[in-house]
Amino acid sequence: MEKILEEDFRIVGCEDSDKNAVVTPTITYMKDAWRRLKKNPVAMISILVLILIALVVIIGPFIQQYDYTFIDPAGKNQLPNAEHWFGTDSMGRDLFTRVCIGARVSLLIAVVCTAVQVIVGAAYGGIMAYFGGIVDNIMMRIIEVLVSIPYLLVVILVMMVCGNSKGSLLLALCLTSWCGTARTIRGVILQLKSSEYVMAARALGTPASKIILKHLIPNTLGILILNTATSLPSYIFQESTLGFLGMGLQPPETSLGVLISLGQTSMQFYPYQLLFPAGILVLIVLAFNLFGEGLRDALDPKLRK
Amino acid sequence: MLKYIVRRFLEMIVTLFVIATATFFLLAAVPGDPLSDRVEKLPEETRINMYKKYGLDQPVLQRYVTTMKSMLKGDFGESIRMPGYDITRLIRETMPISARLGIQTILVGVLVGLLLGILAALFRGSWVDYTIMFFAILMISVPILIFALLLQKYVAGDLGLLPVIGWPSGSEQWFGGWEYTVLPTLSGCFTYIAMYARLLKTSMLDVVNQDYILTARSKGLSEPKIVFRHLLRNSFIPVITVLPMSIAGAITGSFFIERVFSIPGFGRYFIEAVQARDVSIVLGQTVIMSAIYVVLIFLVDILYTLLDPRIRLSGKG
């Protein structure tokens, strides 16, 4: 038998070894979702359309320098032409400028209301679910009462008391809208609450506010994003229907809803006055909905293959 | 089961009470009162009498107690805006109109929607699926209001195929006068078509991956039997959840369709009544609408057990 000498052995060491190195970068849930979203052509086109509309709506009124409240008695009801791209309305106001301003207001209302809804809803739902017990019970009852009052009644009354300004419209739309979000978030957090990482955080003495903000809410992000995507178009809808019922903004202020209701009065002879604002509204909502659909596919782990 | 029904019934009463209370105080919280415009030019004594007639001379809490007491007897009081009317008369005159429109809308919308949903799920991934789903998204992206206005202008106005506004009355209230009902029904049903097509498709795709479908298939059941016996039956559970909400929403009237087509329905009066702060009518309409919702939700919970043997009702909930 061959003799084994000590010289046959040498220390290889483990310094150079990269067996434990991470070869593929870790992909977080959000990165993964984003990667899948990028592969979805419909969602990408929708977001492009939305960006384009936003740009036109912001820059548009500066190109031709019309004032959206400027009344030109000589140029009433002009059909779309080179000077007035969307024509003029029954008071000779440039319809393109008005549609831009109106869409701006509608988008602004949608974005602000959605932000309020998501932030208040997440905070309320988070607190409700985290503390549980009697806090949960009381906060849940408050939601039940708020939800049971007819939505239209609240909106009309707020508009009556606070006047027809942008602020009161925002208030009216936001007042009870967060309840749905709060309920959804509550449901999710109730499940997350018993996770080990929450227990660990609690054992370390982390204050409740930090646990909710740093640990629980980030884990509901997917649901919150979806909530945002579905809420944006619904607020544009709500604003337009209120405008149509004459309960939205009052002239000279304008929005897509106000323009549609003005367009309705002259649609028999000048249908373009209805079709332009209505078309823009449908385009915005359609883009939001298609994007939301893509987002849901990207975020929903159930659909992963 | 009996225990459950009794508990739910009590809960319904409490809910309706809370809704009525909240509505009452919301209306009372708005500054001013519903009479001030109308009695401005009347002599002092008449004015005082008017206030007395509607009980508006009393403090809010007193009024609340009186209103609630008479409400228990089913008396909501006389309308302020339309003298001689009370909620019972309003319901008798306008509810059948809204109900007929609602029933027609739901029937067309839900049936077509479910059919499209089944088609989309059975041919998933094919052009049939994509076309149906694209049109479904398009339909929910167009507000009912715009559908109604466009149909009114082009089909009724320009082409002159159907009447522009109006609604059958008298002996034709329930059957007949169909040409008046086509456009309002059409404008209302698109939302339901889109909603139910999407809902049923999603639900069917969920069920298709369940183990019991695999079992059915491995037992050698024929494809139609799997689809109708197992797939559809289980896919209908989410549909049943939202259906009563749709029905309640539809039969209590659509504000927009009724306004666009000048239909004297139930929903149209609500906005007018709130704006005029016609307390008795607003309270009456709110309570009736909520009652319809609550009762329908209750019925659904019972219906669940019949559809899905996995769900059992318990006294505790």
Cβ contacts of A99 within 8 Å, gap of 6 or more: A86, A256, A259, A276, A277, A280
Q: Can you list the alpha helix ranges (DSSP code H) found in B73-143?
A: 87-122, 127-141
Retrieve residue B141's tokens: 């992206």
Segment B228-231 long-range contacts (CB within 8 Å, at least 24 positions apart): B231/B204, B231/B207
Residue B109 tokens, joined? 């919308």
Q: Tell me whether B246 touches chain A (CB under 8 Å).
A: no
Distance, first Cα to last Cα, chain A: 58
B68, B283 Cβ separation under 8 angstroms: no
Q: Write out pLDDT tens, residues A181-205.
A: 898 888 888 888 888 888 888 899 8
> In DSSP terms, which residues pair with B86 in a beta bridge?
B78
The pLDDT assigned to A17 comes to 63
Q: Which residue of A has its CA nearest to B249?
A: A150
Distance CA(A5)–CA(A51), nearest Å, equals 75
Judge whether A264 is closer than 8 Å to chain B, CB to CB.
Answer: yes
CB of A161 less than 8 A from some CB of B: yes
* pLDDT over 70, % of chain A: 95
Point out the residue among B15, B271, B282 whose CB comes nearest to the CB of A148.
B15
A148, B18: Cβ pair inside 8 Å?
A: yes
- Give the gap in angstroms from C-alpha B142 to the nearest C-alpha of chain A: 5
Q: Which of A81, A39, A47, A85 is nearest to A66 (CA)?
A: A85
Say how far apart CA A258 and CA B110 lie, in whole Å. 31
**Nearest residue, CB atoms, B149 vs list A160, A264, A289:** A264
Nearest by Cα to A185 from A144, A226, A149, A147: A226
DSSP letter assigned to residue A218: G
The answer to whether the beta carbons of residues A265 and A73 sit under 8 Å apart is no
ipTM: 0.77
Q: Are A294 and A42 in contact (CB under 8 A)?
A: yes
Return the residue in B274, B287, B293 with the most chain A beta carbons within 10 A, the one to mutate for interface testing.
B274
CB A198 within 8 A of CB A130: no
Partner B contacted by A269 (CB < 8 A) = no
Could you report the per-residue pLDDT of A210-228, keeping only the tens digit for each?
A: 888 888 888 888 888 888 8
Rg (CA), chain A: 27
- What 3-state DSSP class applies to A256? helix
d(CA B157, CA A271): 12
Phi, psi of A94 (to 5 degrees): -65, 120
Chain A residue with minimal CA distance to B149?
A: A264
How much is the pLDDT for A1? 65
What percent helix, strand, coil does chain A show, rounded to 5?
70, 0, 30
Domains in chain B (CATH in brackets) are 93-279 (1.10.3720.10)
- What's B153's DSSP letter? I
Q: From B139, which residue of chain A is nearest by alpha-carbon distance?
A: A286
* pLDDT at residue B264, rounded to an integer: 82
pLDDT value at position A22?
Answer: 66
CB < 8 Å to A265, chain B? none
The angle formed by the CA atoms of residues B227, B229 and B235, to the nearest 5 degrees, is 70
Q: What is the pLDDT of residue A302?
A: 57
Q: Quick one: tokens of B218? A: 């491995």
Contact (Cβ atoms closer than 8 angstroms) between residue A98 and residue A61: no
DSSP per residue, B172-220: GSSSS-HHHHHHHHHHHHHHHHHHHHHHHHHHHHHHHTSHHHHHHHHTT
Q: Which amino acid belongs to residue B179?
A: E
Minimum Cα–Cα distance from A266: chain B residue? B153
DSSP string for residues in B215-242: HHHHTT--HHHIIIIIIIHHHHHHHHHH
Q: How far apart are CA A236 and CA A105, in angstroms?
A: 10
Q: Is B213 on the interface with A (CB under 8 A)?
A: no
Which helix (H) or strand (E) covers residue A46, if one does? helix A41-64
Say yes or no: A278 contacts chain B, CB-CB below 8 A: yes
Q: Which residues of chain A have pLDDT under 50?
A: 304-305
Given this model, what pLDDT does residue A304 score? Answer: 46
Q: Which residues of A touch B22 (CB under 8 A)?
A: 145, 148-149
Task: Report the residue of chain B nearest A281, measured CA to CA.
Answer: B142
Burial of residue B29 (number of CB atoms within 10 Å: 0-12, 13-18, 19+): exposed
Query: Does A260 sit within 8 Å of B145, measured CB to CB?
Result: yes
C-alpha distance from A133 to closest chain B C-alpha (Å): 17
Chain centre to alpha carbon of residue A21:
40
In a mutational test of the A interface, the residue from B137, B146, B164 whose CB has the highest number of chain A CBs within 10 Å is B146
Per-residue pLDDT of chain B (317 residues; tens, 9 = 90+): 778 788 888 888 888 888 888 888 888 877 767 777 666 777 777 777 777 777 777 777 888 887 888 778 777 777 777 777 778 888 888 888 888 888 889 999 999 999 999 888 888 888 888 889 888 888 888 888 888 888 888 887 777 777 777 777 766 677 777 777 888 888 888 889 988 998 888 888 888 888 888 888 888 888 888 888 888 888 887 888 788 778 877 877 677 788 888 888 888 788 778 877 788 888 888 888 888 888 887 787 777 766 666 655 544 33
Q: What's the rounded Cα separation, in Å, for the pair A235 and A221?
A: 21
Binding-face residues of B in 132-151 toward A, CB within 8 A: 137-138, 140-143, 145-146, 149-150
Return the SS3 of B164.
Answer: coil
Type of residue numbered A221: L
With beta carbons under 8 A apart, name residues in chain A contacting B30: 157, 160-161
Sign of CA dihedral B153, B155, B157, B162: negative
* DSSP tag of B171: G
Q: Are B143 and A150 an interchain contact pair (Cβ–Cβ within 8 Å)?
A: no
Structural domains present in chain A: 44-303 (1.10.3720.10)
- From the list B295, B293, B267, the residue with the least C-alpha distance to B281 is B267
Two tokens at B269? Answer: 């009066």
- Name the average pLDDT for chain A: 82
Q: How many helices (H) and strands (E) does chain A have?
A: 12, 0
Residues 6 or more apart in contact with residue A10 via CB below 8 angstroms:
none
